[in-house]
Amino acid sequence: MDVKKVKAIRDWPVPKSTTEVGSFHGLPTFYRHFIRNFSSLVAPIIDCLKKKYSVLWTEATEVAFALIKDKLTNALILAFPNFENI
């Protein structure tokens, strides 16, 4: 993985508006096939998108935000399984 891109994900600021939450949500959604239980992990962030004008950033949302950033920057996750050697 490119070190600059990993650093950009790790340094991603906490979203303050629904637009910023949607922008962050788009990133892990692209890689959802590589993250186990993705829908459960991202659920608190999706709850923030349901509010039209304000973002209710809770402790659960903060944990989900940090966990998803960690999963995206972990190079071991972002690989397809090799079924040829089984």
pLDDT (0 to 100) of residue 68: 93
pTM, to two decimals = 0.77
Arithmetic mean of pLDDT, 8-19? 90
Arithmetic mean of pLDDT, 61-67? 93
Tokens 């600021």 locate to 13
Tell me the domains of the chain and their CATH numbers.
3-78 (3.30.70.270)
Encode burial over 10-46: b for 16+ CB neighbours within 10 A, e otherwise: eebeebeebeebeebbeebeeeeeebeebeebbebbe
Q: Do the Cβ atoms of 64 and 43 come closer than 8 Å?
A: yes
pLDDT (0 to 100) of residue 54: 72
Band (pLDDT 50/70/90 cuts) for residue 62 is very high
